[in-house]
């Protein structure tokens, strides 16, 4: 126990010492050391308010003629090579939502000019697309989808598309129409479809909105179609979907919740096929 602590304990007539001061951070210690080393000021001529502003280090982004300060203020991520940065952003962009401009490569391309160049130059970063329509399409959302399809041109693995339209009790027919419009917007990129997963309302007219890709999906390997909703709104007539009939690379087809009168044509030698229809 120090002399000062003993004096305080004696005054308070107990053995409880005052709490230990909180440990200062490295930045606080550094600033304090800078103040004591650079400013030996007589208390009769200066006040602390005159010392502290001059002693504080400049902001990290402030311009300085000292190269050492620039090197010290440089963020570690700035030292990454373009190839390594692309790999990091690629992993962080898997299954990004194409309609969310604050997510995935949309957000990374707004950080700085260097990141934007990396994003727009990497087709793989845009090739795993998740489409979640929450309302009818607008000119803005249509533009985002077209832009993503354009930036994904050249991706070696093709396009992996997830069209997820959740079960809703309101505006089901509007949802179906939105899904059909989305699929028609993706027609020009059908030759690059590698994987297609859909969770859409049962009244979506897939035979119409997929007819434009018939015979034009040469690298399509996996298709999963799951439909939800009451079957009585889908009609009673027979519907034929022939979009995947001539898909030479198709290895997996999974169907669930389709109307009993919906016929899906596919290659006869497909190795993995599952069809869970709605009951009659």
| Alpha-carbon span 236 to 241, nearest angstrom | 15
Helix (H) or strand (E) holding 117: helix 113-120
> What is this structure's pTM?
0.67
pLDDT tens across the length of the chain (280 residues): 544 444 434 433 443 333 444 444 444 444 444 434 444 434 444 433 333 333 333 443 444 455 544 444 445 566 677 777 777 777 777 778 888 888 888 888 888 888 888 888 889 889 999 999 888 888 989 999 999 999 999 998 899 999 998 776 455 557 888 999 999 999 999 999 999 999 998 888 898 889 889 889 999 999 999 988 776 655 556 888 999 999 999 999 999 988 888 889 899 889 999 988 755 4
| Rounded to 5°, angle at Cα 181 from 180 and 186 | 100
DSSP track, 167-208 = --SS-HHHHHHHHHHHHHHTGGGGGGEEEEEEEEETT--HHH
Report how far apart the first and last C-alpha atoms of the chain are (Å, whole number).
87
Domain boundaries along the sequence of the chain: 31-74, 81-276
Helices H, strands E: what count in the chain? 10, 9
> What pLDDT sits at residue 235?
56
- 3-state SS class at 260: coil
Residue 264 main-chain phi, psi, to 5 deg: -115, 120
> What pLDDT sits at residue 44?
42
């Amino acid at each position: 126990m120090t002399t000062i602590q003993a004096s305080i304990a004696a005054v308070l007539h107990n053995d409880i010492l005052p709490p230990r001061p909180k440990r200062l951070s490295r930045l606080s210690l550094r600033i304090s050391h800078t103040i004591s080393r650079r400013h030996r000021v007589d208390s009769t001529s200066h006040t602390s308010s005159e010392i502290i502003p001059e002693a504080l280090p400049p902001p990290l982004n402030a311009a300085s003629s000292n190269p050492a300060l620039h090197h010290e203020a440089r963020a570690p991520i700035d030292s990454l090579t373009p190839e390594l940065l692309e790999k990091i952003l690629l992993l962080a962009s898997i299954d990004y939502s194409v309609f969310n401009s604050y997510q995935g490569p949309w957000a990374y391309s707004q950080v700085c000019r260097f990141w934007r160049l990396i994003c727009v130059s990497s087709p793989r970063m845009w090739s795993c697309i998740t489409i979640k329509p929450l309302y009818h399409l607008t000119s803005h959302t249509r533009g985002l989808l077209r832009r993503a399809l354009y930036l994904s041109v050249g991706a070696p693995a093709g396009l992996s598309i997830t069209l997820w339209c959740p079960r809703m009790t309101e505006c089901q027919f509007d949802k179906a129409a939105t899904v059909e419009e989305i699929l028609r917007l993706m027609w020009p990129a059908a030759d690059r479809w590698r994987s297609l997963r859909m969770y859409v309302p049962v009244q979506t007219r897939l035979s119409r909105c997929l007819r434009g890709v018939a015979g034009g999906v040469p690298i399509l390997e996996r298709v999963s179609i799951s439909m939800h909703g009451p079957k009585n709104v889908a009609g009673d007539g027979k519907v034929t979907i022939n979009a995947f009939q001539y898909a030479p690379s198709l290895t997996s087809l999974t169907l669930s919740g389709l109307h009993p009168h919906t016929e899906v044509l596919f290659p006869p030698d497909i190795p993995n096929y599952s069809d869970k229809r709605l009951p009659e």
